[in-house]
């Protein structure tokens, strides 16, 4: 019997113990050396104590990384920790692009499927994805209608969305062609403590 695990499950040893697999003969762990494309990780620390300035700095760094990746012809996913931060982040990055006159680098109007994508977006009642569409941006989170989430996933897979800002719900079981993944911030909301930790 063969059991395959997703790369998003780091506790492979626990699963093997639960399944009573002999770790010497029946457990196989494939590290990054098996990847066809090498994985690079980069950490950028922002130590700004003022929350508003820290948020602006986070958005600025996300914009710069997204711009450099899109300039190379790649797509970008930006993970945020709250649903309401999806649109705010996408809008902030789009605004940076407008200020620097670089929005054309994110737009996908030349794509052969852009017209069909525009028709599909116009059918949606989600004003946020409609507002972000022409810039080549979109959002994805559990608070959206399933039909809108499916639409965004399809348009991103087709290359019609250059930057997708999403929550961790998209990380589970969806295989999308993102070359660059940005995790914006390390603070998450702890309901028991009533604040971000």
Which pLDDT tens digit goes with each residue over 159-171?
999 999 999 887 7
Which pLDDT tens digit goes with each residue over 115-143?
999 999 999 999 999 999 999 999 999 99
Whole-number Å distance between alpha carbons of 10 and 150: 27
Whole-number Å distance between alpha carbons of 98 and 15: 48
Residue 116's alpha-carbon distances to 113, 131, 154, 155, in angstroms, are 5, 17, 12, 10
Which pLDDT tens digit goes with each residue over 49-107?
898 999 999 999 999 999 999 999 999 999 998 899 999 999 999 999 999 999 999 99
Q: What is the predicted pLDDT for the residue at 79?
A: 93
Q: The whole model's pTM is what?
A: 0.81
Q: What is the band of 173 on the pLDDT scale with cuts at 50, 70, 90?
A: low
Q: How many CB atoms lie within 10 A of CB 32?
A: 10
Closest CA relative to residue 90, chosen from 150, 143, 131, 149:
131
Whole-number Å distance between alpha carbons of 197 and 193: 8
């Amino acid at each position: 019997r063969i059991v395959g695990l997703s790369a998003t499950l780091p506790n492979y040893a626990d699963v093997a113990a639960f399944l009573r697999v002999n770790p010497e003969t029946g457990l196989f762990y494939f590290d990054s050396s098996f990847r066809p494309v090498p994985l690079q990780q980069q950490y950028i620390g922002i130590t700004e104590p003022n929350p508003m300035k820290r948020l602006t700095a986070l958005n600025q760094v996300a914009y710069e990384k997204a711009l450099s990746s899109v300039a190379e012809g790649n797509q970008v996913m930006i993970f945020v920790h709250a649903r309401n931060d999806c649109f705010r982040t996408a809008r902030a990055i789009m605004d940076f692009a407008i200020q620097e006159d670089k929005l054309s680098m994110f737009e996908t109007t030349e794509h052969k499927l852009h017209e069909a994508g525009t028709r599909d977006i116009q059918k949606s009642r989600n004003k946020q994805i409609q507002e972000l569409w022409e810039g080549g941006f979109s959002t994805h989170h559990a608070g959206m209608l399933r039909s809108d989430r499916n639409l965004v996933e399809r348009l991103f897979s087709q290359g019609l969305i250059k930057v997708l800002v999403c929550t961790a719900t998209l990380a589970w079981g969806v295989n999308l062609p993102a070359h660059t993944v940005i995790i914006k911030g390390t603070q998450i909301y702890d309901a028991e403590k009533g604040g971000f930790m």
